[in-house]
Structure 1
Amino acid sequence: MTVKTNAADIVAVSIMGQVANPSLSGLPAEPYRLDADGRAFLWPTFGGIVYNVSVGDSAFGWSGDCIHPGVSISHPDANKNRGLNVFACVGNEAMVVTGAAKGAKGVVTGKSGRFSDQVIVHFDEATRRKLAVDDRITVRSEGVGMVATDSPEVAFKSLSPALFDKLPKKMEDGVLKIGVVATVPPHMVGAGAGLTSEGGSLHMQSTDREELAKHRLDSLRLGDVVAIADTDSRYNHGYLRGAMSIGIVGQTDGPRAGYGPGMTIVMTAPAGQLGAYDAPGTNIADILELRA
């Protein structure tokens, strides 16, 4: 169905980042991390050009820690990177402007934050092979300030109007309901709680695999649309009974406690104005035709 928004009044503006190199802090000198059981591990993590993980693939099973599918971009200036991370919206068009892949187009599919303030962009595999670290990518930012005319209490976050129009949705008794693959219960909300909801990501807990399977979360794919129950993300992420948020899975699972698949929050409401219904297979890889 069509939900009327103020899309015609939203400002479209350019933002830019560079392909980010994976990084490790110099101190402590050991590059290892600890998994949920206290064992040291060293796996690839966020950043860089990931050649073999794409939107639509499983969010689980990779030998990596919170992997960003496709390409991660950031800006070397901290303030400008903040602008990039806040204003980029899932579904925005991106374009390579330097290097061997100049002119190639992609799509923003997620964000990560705090320790890895990066924007995640999908490019096809042929383009990824041409890209190099520090290649510049511009994004047509469009979506910040979006309002649904008949659902003014639903706050939109990091969502392009074009993608919102394509998401499965319906209005029932004044409640905007979004079609989702699964619902994350509040006790499974992990890293990101308490932080800003304008950028970055919110992770689900995945250490308890039985609980994960109980809620049909163990087969999530990158790009899946999910609901997060009793979670208010209007200004930051926190528990609020009756609230709901809608997220898009943007990062893979990892072995650390609290760092299951990362979600980019795209909608939220505090008191029943936003709902969800089962819509198996709802994934932006299909909605935006990102896979051959």
Structure 2
Amino acid sequence: MLRTNKEKLVQISVCGEITHPKNNFPRITTEGKVKFLPGTGGITYNVMLGDKACGFVADHVEPGVSISNSDTMNNNGLNILTSVGNTAKVISGDAKGDLGYVTGMHGGIEHVLVYFPKETLEKLTIGDKIQIKSWGTGLELEDCPDVKVYNTDPDLVEKMNIRVLEDGTLEVPVVTTVPAHLMGSGIGAITAHRGDYDIMTADKEAFDASNLGELRFGDIILLEDCDNSYGRGYLKGAVSIGVVVHSDCVITGHGPGVTTLLTCQSPKIKGVIDPKANIGNYLGILK
């Protein structure tokens, strides 16, 4: 039984609007080519939770629905208080009342990403308001005080098949492990309470060595020697667990984005390979 302090956490509403896609400049690829591509924002009808995160003719594309607020302080609240797995409800427009789930946060653009079923996507429009029952900020694992939890709904944590071993180590199902030298854009961020950072793709041999081309949106992965305790950086022996939130990218230093879920400065998190370790399976979305 995974014991947490969830009964002490505050459930509080946050809200954002579906954003318009952002694309006001060309991308320069790692080969020096100039490309105009779909990217962040909007409603993506054919890029969904569970799809492969690599291979779309796109750059940083976000699955499902992307929301934010034009007011910076309000958007800070949306991004910091929201957790992966929180329930989301459409509160305006033709899809009013329909439900979905938060699947991640995308730093830099400061978007919260939300899954809705395809029938809901067809009713949504840019500008529709999405309200989230935020819950998870301050979550702690009572038997593992050295492990910090970020951006994770307490109910999702309980569904992730995490085991606490006798020595206090957490055993977490993951799809694969990623070496620290592949982590790029987002390193140096002052907090992991929001946003993500990217797995770099420019070195194809290194990327393929961990079978990262098969990653899917929602996959849970282990980041080796990565400390996300008070920001993001390299620390030998540290371990972080994250979820894949956006697609691969053509620009240097970028790639599939990873939002932090768990982190420890010592090797007290152990990954166990499980191809089904995806939040879509835990939330009952993927069949």
TM-score normalised per structure 1 = 0.95
Match of 1:230 in 2: 225
CA distance in 2, matches of 1:278, 1:58: 18
Give yes or no for the alignment of 1:207 onto 2:206: no
Equivalences, count: 285
Contact 2:23 2:38 in 1 (8 A): no
Matched residues in 1 for 2:220 and 2:184: separation? 18
Deviation at 1:170, TM superposition (A): 1.7
Match of 1:191 among 177, 185, 209: 185
Instruction: Using the TM superposition, give the Cα deviation of residue 143 of structure 1 relative to its aligned residue in structure 2, in angstroms.
Output: 0.3
Q: Give the 5 Å matches for 1:17-28.
A: 17-25=16-24
Q: 1:111 is paired with a residue of what secondary structure?
A: strand
Render the CA deviation track for 1:176-206: whole Å, top value 9, x for unaligned.
Answer: 1211000110000011101121111111011
CA distance in 1 between partners of 2:272 and 2:4 (Å): 21
Give the aligned residue type for 1:291: L
Distance in 2, Cα, partners of 1:207 & 1:169: 33
2:96 alignment counterpart: 102
Which whole-Å CA distance do the structure 1 matches of 2:23 and 2:245 have between them? 21
Match status 1:11 vs 2:27: no
1:154 equivalent to 2:147? Answer yes
The answer as to whether partners of 1:193 and 1:237 remain within 8 angstroms in 2 is yes
TM superposition shift of 1:156: 0.5
Q: Give 3-state SS (helix, strand or coil) of 2:213's partner.
A: coil
Q: Residue 227 of structure 2 contacts residue 235 of structure 2 at CA under 8 Å; is this kept in 1?
A: yes
| Whole-Å separation in 1 of the counterparts to 2:96 and 2:74 | 22
Q: CA deviation at 1:24?
A: 3.7
**3-state SS of paired residue (2:89):** strand
C-alpha contact (below 8 Å) 2:42/2:66 kept by paired residues: yes
Give 1:90's aligned amino acid: V
Instruction: Output the CA distance in 2 between the equivalents of 1:58 and 1:21.
Output: 23
Question: Match of 1:28?
Answer: none
The partner residue of 1:279 within 274, 277, 281 is: 274
Alpha-carbon separation, structure 1, partners of 2:259 and 2:269: 17
Unaligned stretches of 5+ in structure 1? 26-30
Among candidates 257, 264, 267, match of residue 269 of structure 1: 264
**Cα deviation code 1:139-195 (max 9, x no counterpart):** 000000001110011111100001000002222221112110001100000111011
Cα distance in structure 1, aligned partners of 2:138 and 2:279: 21
Kept in 2, the 8 Å contact 1:209–1:218? The answer is no
CA distance in 1, matches of 2:20, 2:226: 33
Asked if the contact 2:23/2:39 (under 8 Å) is kept, the reply is no
Which 5+ residue runs of structure 2 have no aligned equivalent? none
Out of 117, 123, 134, the residue aligned to residue 116 of structure 2 is 123
Partner of 2:72: 78
Quote the offset at 1:237 in angstroms.
0.4
Counterpart-to-counterpart distance in 1, 2:254 and 2:65: 20
Aligned letter for 1:37?
Answer: E
1:23 Cα shift? Answer: 2.1
**What secondary structure sits across from 2:120 in the alignment?**
helix
1:142 alignment partner AA: W
Deviation for aligned residue 1:121: 0.1
Moved over 3 A (4+): none
Instruction: Give the counterpart letter for 1:208 in structure 2.
Output: D
1:217 counterpart (199, 205, 212): 212
Output the CA distance in 2 between the equivalents of 1:120 and 1:258: 22
SS at match of 1:81: helix
SS at 1:83 equivalent:
helix
Paired residue for 1:258?
253
1:140 aligns with 2:139: no
The counterpart of 2:172, out of the listed 174, 178, 183, is 178
Match of 1:60 in 2: 54
Q: Is the 8 A contact 1:230 1:240 kept in 2?
A: yes
Measure, in 2, the Cα distance between the counterparts of 1:145 and 1:274: 19
CA distance in structure 2 between the aligned counterparts of 1:125 and 1:22, rounded to whole angstroms: 19
**TM-score normalised by length of structure 2:** 0.97
Contact 1:229 1:243 in 2 (8 A): yes
